[in-house]
Protein backbone atom coordinates (compact mmCIF):
# COMPACT_ATOMS: atom_id res chain seq x y z
CA UNK A 1 0.00 0.00 0.00
CA UNK A 2 1.03 3.58 -0.20
CA UNK A 3 0.87 6.70 1.88
CA UNK A 4 -2.66 7.32 0.57
CA UNK A 5 -4.07 5.03 3.24
CA UNK A 6 -5.16 7.07 6.23
CA UNK A 7 -6.48 6.10 9.62
CA UNK A 8 -7.54 7.77 12.83
CA UNK A 9 -4.52 8.48 15.02
CA UNK A 10 -2.02 8.62 12.18
CA UNK A 11 0.95 10.77 13.15
CA UNK A 12 1.96 13.68 10.95
CA UNK A 13 5.37 12.23 10.04
CA UNK A 14 4.17 8.62 9.79
CA UNK A 15 4.20 6.75 6.48
CA UNK A 16 1.97 3.75 5.86
CA UNK A 17 4.11 1.02 4.32
CA UNK A 18 1.75 -1.93 4.29
CA UNK A 19 -1.91 -2.64 5.04
CA UNK A 20 -2.84 -6.28 5.44
CA UNK A 21 -6.15 -8.07 5.91
CA UNK A 22 -6.76 -11.56 7.14
CA UNK A 23 -6.77 -14.27 4.48
CA UNK A 24 -10.22 -14.68 2.88
CA UNK A 25 -10.19 -18.29 4.11
CA UNK A 26 -11.36 -16.98 7.49
CA UNK A 27 -14.70 -16.33 5.75
CA UNK A 28 -15.10 -20.08 5.13
CA UNK A 29 -17.64 -20.50 7.98
CA UNK A 30 -20.07 -18.57 5.76
CA UNK A 31 -19.88 -21.39 3.21
CA UNK A 32 -20.51 -24.03 5.88
CA UNK A 33 -23.50 -22.10 7.24
CA UNK A 34 -24.98 -21.77 3.75
CA UNK A 35 -24.53 -25.50 3.12
CA UNK A 36 -26.38 -26.18 6.36
CA UNK A 37 -29.13 -23.71 5.47
CA UNK A 38 -29.57 -25.24 2.02
CA UNK A 39 -29.91 -28.64 3.70
CA UNK A 40 -32.56 -27.23 6.06
CA UNK A 41 -34.45 -25.70 3.12
CA UNK A 42 -34.33 -28.99 1.22
CA UNK A 43 -35.65 -30.83 4.28
CA UNK A 44 -38.46 -28.29 4.71
CA UNK A 45 -39.53 -28.63 1.08
CA UNK A 46 -39.31 -32.43 1.29
CA UNK A 47 -41.31 -32.58 4.54
CA UNK A 48 -43.93 -29.86 3.94
CA UNK A 49 -43.82 -29.33 0.18
CA UNK A 50 -44.13 -25.80 -1.13
CA UNK A 51 -46.70 -24.56 1.35
CA UNK A 52 -47.20 -21.30 3.17
CA UNK A 53 -45.46 -22.67 6.26
CA UNK A 54 -42.42 -23.81 4.33
CA UNK A 55 -42.32 -20.51 2.42
CA UNK A 56 -42.15 -18.55 5.69
CA UNK A 57 -39.55 -20.95 7.06
CA UNK A 58 -37.47 -20.66 3.88
CA UNK A 59 -37.70 -16.88 4.03
CA UNK A 60 -36.55 -16.94 7.68
CA UNK A 61 -33.67 -19.32 6.93
CA UNK A 62 -32.50 -17.21 3.97
CA UNK A 63 -32.79 -14.02 6.06
CA UNK A 64 -30.66 -15.59 8.79
CA UNK A 65 -28.07 -16.69 6.22
CA UNK A 66 -27.90 -13.23 4.70
CA UNK A 67 -27.54 -11.50 8.08
CA UNK A 68 -24.89 -13.97 9.22
CA UNK A 69 -22.92 -13.51 5.97
CA UNK A 70 -23.06 -9.71 6.20
CA UNK A 71 -21.99 -9.83 9.86
CA UNK A 72 -18.96 -12.04 9.12
CA UNK A 73 -17.96 -9.92 6.13
CA UNK A 74 -18.29 -6.72 8.22
CA UNK A 75 -15.94 -8.13 10.87
CA UNK A 76 -13.42 -9.30 8.25
CA UNK A 77 -13.57 -6.07 6.23
CA UNK A 78 -13.10 -3.79 9.26
CA UNK A 79 -10.11 -5.64 10.69
CA UNK A 80 -6.77 -4.35 9.42
CA UNK A 81 -3.10 -4.72 10.24
CA UNK A 82 -1.12 -1.59 9.42
CA UNK A 83 2.66 -1.38 9.23
CA UNK A 84 4.12 2.11 9.23
CA UNK A 85 7.62 3.49 9.53
CA UNK A 86 7.00 3.95 13.29
CA UNK A 87 4.69 1.19 14.50
CA UNK A 88 2.63 -1.91 13.80
CA UNK A 89 -1.10 -1.37 14.40
CA UNK A 90 -3.64 -4.13 14.83
CA UNK A 91 -7.30 -3.20 14.37
CA UNK A 92 -9.61 -6.07 15.31
CA UNK A 93 -13.33 -5.75 14.77
CA UNK A 94 -14.72 -8.28 17.24
CA UNK A 95 -18.42 -7.53 16.79
CA UNK A 96 -20.76 -4.83 15.55
CA UNK A 97 -19.92 -2.54 18.46
CA UNK A 98 -16.63 -4.03 19.64
CA UNK A 99 -13.31 -2.92 18.16
CA UNK A 100 -9.89 -3.49 19.70
CA UNK A 101 -6.85 -1.50 18.56
CA UNK A 102 -3.36 -2.35 19.71
CA UNK A 103 0.02 -1.19 18.51
CA UNK A 104 3.69 -1.92 18.84
CA UNK A 105 6.28 0.81 18.42
CA UNK A 106 8.97 -0.33 15.98
CA UNK A 107 11.77 0.59 18.43
CA UNK A 108 10.18 -1.51 21.19
CA UNK A 109 9.82 -4.71 19.17
CA UNK A 110 12.12 -7.36 20.63
CA UNK A 111 11.22 -10.47 18.67
CA UNK A 112 9.22 -11.31 15.55
CA UNK A 113 8.31 -14.84 14.55
CA UNK A 114 5.90 -16.50 12.16
CA UNK A 115 3.71 -19.54 12.55
CA UNK A 116 1.88 -21.49 9.86
CA UNK A 117 -0.03 -24.43 11.34
CA UNK A 118 -1.95 -27.06 9.46
CA UNK A 119 -2.35 -28.18 5.87
CA UNK A 120 -4.84 -25.48 4.79
CA UNK A 121 -2.63 -22.65 6.06
CA UNK A 122 0.45 -24.28 4.53
CA UNK A 123 -1.17 -24.74 1.10
CA UNK A 124 -2.65 -21.23 1.02
CA UNK A 125 0.38 -19.65 2.76
CA UNK A 126 -1.27 -17.78 5.60
CA UNK A 127 -0.63 -17.77 9.30
CA UNK A 128 0.37 -15.72 12.31
CA UNK A 129 3.05 -13.10 12.82
CA UNK A 130 3.96 -12.94 16.52
CA UNK A 131 5.45 -9.65 17.70
CA UNK A 132 6.96 -9.53 21.18
CA UNK A 133 7.48 -6.03 22.54
CA UNK A 134 9.12 -4.38 25.52
CA UNK A 135 5.85 -2.86 26.66
CA UNK A 136 3.41 -3.72 29.41
CA UNK A 137 1.03 -5.27 26.84
CA UNK A 138 3.88 -7.49 25.67
CA UNK A 139 2.59 -9.02 22.48
CA UNK A 140 0.78 -8.16 19.27
CA UNK A 141 -0.20 -11.07 17.02
CA UNK A 142 -1.26 -10.56 13.42
CA UNK A 143 -3.65 -13.48 12.88
CA UNK A 144 -4.27 -15.34 9.61
CA UNK A 145 -2.30 -12.97 7.36
CA UNK A 146 -1.22 -13.84 3.83
CA UNK A 147 2.54 -14.43 3.45
CA UNK A 148 3.46 -14.08 7.14
CA UNK A 149 7.17 -14.46 6.39
CA UNK A 150 7.09 -11.51 3.96
CA UNK A 151 5.30 -9.39 6.57
CA UNK A 152 7.86 -10.40 9.19
CA UNK A 153 10.70 -9.41 6.85
CA UNK A 154 9.06 -6.05 6.11
CA UNK A 155 8.86 -5.29 9.83
CA UNK A 156 12.51 -6.34 10.27
CA UNK A 157 13.49 -4.09 7.35
CA UNK A 158 11.67 -1.13 8.95
CA UNK A 159 13.32 -1.93 12.30
CA UNK A 160 16.77 -1.91 10.69
CA UNK A 161 16.16 1.37 8.90
CA UNK A 162 14.91 2.97 12.12
CA UNK A 163 17.89 1.69 14.13
CA UNK A 164 20.32 2.81 11.41
CA UNK A 165 18.80 6.29 11.29
CA UNK A 166 18.86 6.59 15.08
CA UNK A 167 22.49 5.40 15.23
CA UNK A 168 23.38 7.90 12.48
CA UNK A 169 21.81 10.69 14.50
CA UNK A 170 23.77 9.61 17.61
CA UNK A 171 27.01 9.68 15.66
CA UNK A 172 26.15 13.12 14.32
CA UNK A 173 25.36 14.45 17.80
CA UNK A 174 28.74 13.47 19.24
Confidence at 7, pLDDT banded by 50, 70, 90: confident
Q: Give residue 98's pLDDT.
A: 96
pTM of the complete model: 0.84
Residue 85 has pLDDT above 80, yes or no: yes
Euclidean distance between CA atoms 142 and 88, whole angstroms: 9
Q: Residues 46-70: what's their mean pLDDT?
A: 89
- For the chain, give every domain's residue range: 15-174
**CA pair distance 55, 49, nearest whole angstrom:** 9
The pLDDT of residue 168 is 63
- pLDDT value of residue 1: 46
pLDDT at 171: 47
CATH class entry, domain 15-174: mainly beta
**Residue 102: predicted pLDDT:** 92
Q: pLDDT digits over 112-169, tens only?
A: 999 999 999 999 999 999 999 987 777 999 999 999 999 999 999 999 998 887 766 5
Q: What is the pLDDT of residue 8?
A: 86
Q: Distance (Å, rounded) from C-alpha 100 to C-alpha 24?
A: 20
Helices (H), 3-147: 28-48, 52-77, 119-124
Amino acid sequence: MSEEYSFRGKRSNEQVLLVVKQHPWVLMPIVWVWLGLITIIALLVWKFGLSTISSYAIFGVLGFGLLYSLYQWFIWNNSDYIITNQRVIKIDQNGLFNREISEAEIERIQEISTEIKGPIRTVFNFGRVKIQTASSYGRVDLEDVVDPYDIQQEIVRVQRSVSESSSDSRVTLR
